[in-house]
Amino acid sequence: MKGCSSLPPETASQLPPTDSAHRFDLLRTPMIGPFLQWRKSRMTLQALVFIVSVIMAAHAFWGPQLAPKNLGALLTWVHFRGLVVLAVLLAGNFFCMACPFMLPREIARKFFTPRWNWPRRLRNKYPAIALFVGVLFAYELFDLWGDPWWTGVLIVAYFAAALAVDAVFRRASFCKYVCPVGQFNFLGSTMSPLEVAVRDPDTCTRCSTKDCIRGRRFDVEYERPSTANADALPIIQRGCELALFQPRKVGNLDCTFCLDCVYACPHDNVGLLARLPGETLAEGRSRSGIGSLNDRSDWTVLIIVFVFGALLNAFAMTSPVYVVEQTIAQYTGLTVEWPILGMLFFAVLIVEPFVLLAAAAVCARLASKRTDTVWSIINRFTRSLVPLGFGVWLAHYGFHFFTGALTVVPVTQHAARSLVGWSVLGAPQWQLGGLPESVVYPIELGFLGLGLLGSLLVAWRLAADFAPLRTLQAFAPWACLNTVLFASACWILTQPMDMRGTFLGG
Amino acid sequence: MRGTGVGLGYSPSKFPGVSLFLLGLMGLVGGCQRAEQPAVKAEIQVEIEPSPPKVGQADLAIKLTDGAGQPLSVGALEVEGNMNHAGMKPVFTTLREAEPGQYVGTIEFTMGGDWFLLLTGQLADGRQIDEKVDVPGVQRP
């Protein structure tokens, strides 16, 4: 076979065991498969979402400054967020695949090539974590859910940041190190039923070209794809820009579903394969482009923000947060919101996780009679919180989406009427909303319940790996922690929503 | 409850830099905007029973006066209730004029949280009333 040779036996033995031949492969299905294998499919999807994004931004700035009547606010905070988490739950990271922020960058890169590599010291998740927290903070401080203009600023800023970073730095630096939405999707898609993976590991064992990560270059002299080591030749198909080498790739972390590896593989050996959601969270072995999660503190911090940020984001839309903030204001004498909000974020994103995770880790350490450091145990077990955290995001975003999915119809009709002066799409059908709250509430509880179940299963597997002879003892503290977080999420869902606009009389 | 009227309409961008980014669309959108009728600046007093408002049916009494304290009579006052979070289905009601400038009726708050009311009516001289009144903290029963 062209481009294949034998690899050392120890390399082959490191490949993950798989029964890919029997797994569902989305790329083998009719209609969807051929479309996704078409090399312009990603750009087509990006162009469609880009057009919608431009409409959203325009309406955010120049449409009515009432969130329920503005396409920028409505599509951003109801439909986009809801569809992202549902797509991740039901399929995979398809938002990153269709990411509109990458389209200007793709076009720009046809005219110039970035020169620099992303700084070595920043090759971790901390820049994205800072932005993730920043977006959550701005969301609360500026009441973004109810402010079309600031929502528009956020959309435009996102496009500008993506273009600026990838104009300067090579590969997919923005996606891998900067984009908070991407990190959210990476963690969420650990719960997806699909992953980009090799179909037959033996084929990779014999492959010598590694096009899936190196890309394919064009041999001008012979006018054919080159298999030679000629880095100066133009790339005709890039490999993975996030440094994920398919044979060593584990799960969906850092995978944008761009399918570059699918197009680059000369053996048609990469597919969109079915797998058990959450399964790879229990994996401790080294992953391509990431290493072992047991050694990645930045991933642990990201997971903490993902999980506790989910609770904070939902809690901040309820009545009790109003009482908490008024109490802080009363005791401190503060009359402006941002320091009070800062205290709340500090308490929920730093103090609370530190106390809870350290307590669980110390208990697990004592119960399992291990000598690992507390931080290494936290590094190992924090992954068990991801399913529950994703369940909280699903419940929160799902609530807004399910209760307001059809409101896009009258808002679009209203926008069209305002634009052209007559009801070109018909009179706004304001009676269209979504599912009643009473119907959505059990769905929310179902998401939380599934999240808790997933977290307990992952915690059990991590405990079995951590302390094979005292698995139950190592598992129990993390089961308690997950249960406490589940209970707090259930309590949050019972609270009346959206009191934040009245904070300090604002 | 005393509400502060906030004029509706289409707000201009706050920073010119952002506006430049979407200049083409501005021309398209802005060029096709309908001309808004001049609106009257009204003083508004709102009373909701029960107070504080709760989810469900509520009695609504609104008093409209001009800057000189004279009642503003529009016959019937159209009210649209909505929440400040996107994705909410609005509720509509029409308030009858019990006496000059005094409007009464009922409205149904369908969900707990922050609401606002959009008031629209037309004076006898053709001038339009378009006002927004915040109704924060509608509680679940």
pLDDT tens track of chain A, all 506 residues? Answer: 344 444 444 444 444 555 556 789 999 999 999 999 999 999 999 999 999 999 999 999 999 999 999 999 999 999 999 999 999 999 999 999 999 999 998 888 888 889 899 999 999 999 999 999 999 999 988 888 889 999 999 999 999 999 999 999 999 999 999 999 999 999 999 999 999 999 999 999 999 889 999 998 765 555 555 555 556 667 788 899 999 999 999 999 999 999 999 999 999 999 999 999 999 999 988 999 999 999 999 999 999 999 999 999 999 888 788 888 889 999 999 988 899 999 999 999 999 999 999 999 999 999 999 999 999 999 999 999 999 999 999 999 999 999 999 999 999 999 999 988 888 999 999 989 899 888 999 999 999 999 999 999 999 999 999 999 999 999 999 999 999 999 999 999 888 665 444 444 33
pLDDT 10s digits, B27-86: 454 444 444 556 778 899 999 999 889 989 999 999 999 888 899 998 889 999 998 888
Q: Could you tell me if residue B128 is inside a domain?
A: yes
Contact (CB<8Å) A58/B21:
no
Both A234 and A319 in a single domain? no
In order of A421, A506, B55, B106, the CA distances from B58 in angstroms are 35, 24, 8, 5
Number of folded domains that form chain A: 3
Q: Could you tell me if residue B31 is inside a domain?
A: no
In order of A95, A273, A299, B70, the CA distances from A276 in angstroms are 20, 10, 21, 70
Contact (CB<8Å) A152/B14:
no
* Alpha-carbon gap, residue A440 to A395, rounded angstroms: 9
pLDDT 10s digits, A389-414: 999 999 999 999 999 999 999 999 99
Number of folded domains that form chain B: 1
**Contact call for residues A175 and A198 (beta carbons, < 8 A):** no
pLDDT 10s digits, A102-137: 999 888 888 888 989 999 999 999 999 999 999 999
Residue B81 lies in domain:
2-7+39-138
Q: Could you tell me if residue B92 is inside a domain?
A: yes
Chain B CA closest to residue A434: B89
Q: Could you tell me if residue B34 is inside a domain?
A: no
Q: What is the pTM of this model?
A: 0.86
b or e along A428-442 (b: 16 or more beta carbons within 10 Å of the residue's beta carbon)? bebebbbbebeebbe
* Chain A contact set for B52 (CB, 8 A): none
Both A351 and A310 in a single domain? yes
Chain A CA closest to residue B86: A68
Residues belonging to chain B with any Cβ–Cβ distance to chain A shorter than 8 Å: 8-11, 13-14, 18-19, 21-22, 25-26, 29-30, 32-34, 82-90, 92, 111-114, 116, 118, 132, 134, 136-140
Helix residue ranges, H only, A91-179: 94-97, 102-108, 126-141, 148-168, 173
Q: What is the pLDDT of residue B13?
A: 43
Tokens in use for B125?
């001289």
Contact (CB<8Å) B29/A58:
yes
Contact (CB<8Å) B87/A74:
yes
Both A211 and A317 in a single domain? no
In this structure, what CATH number is given to the domain that contains residue B92? 2.60.40.10
Q: Could you tell me if residue A4 is inside a domain?
A: no
Q: How big is the A-B interface in CB pairs under 8 Å?
A: 134
Both A307 and A343 in a single domain? yes
Both A240 and A173 in a single domain? no
Strand partners, B116: B82, B134
Q: Could you tell me if residue A282 is inside a domain?
A: no
Task: Tell me how close the Cα of A163 comes to any Cα of chain B, in angstroms.
Answer: 14
Q: Is the ipTM of this complex over 0.85?
A: no
**Contact call for residues A275 and A194 (beta carbons, < 8 A):** yes
What does residue B49 show for φ and ψ, rounded to 5 degrees?
-125, 125
Q: Could you tell me if residue B12 is inside a domain?
A: no
Q: Could you tell me if residue A281 is inside a domain?
A: no
Residue A94 lies in domain:
39-193
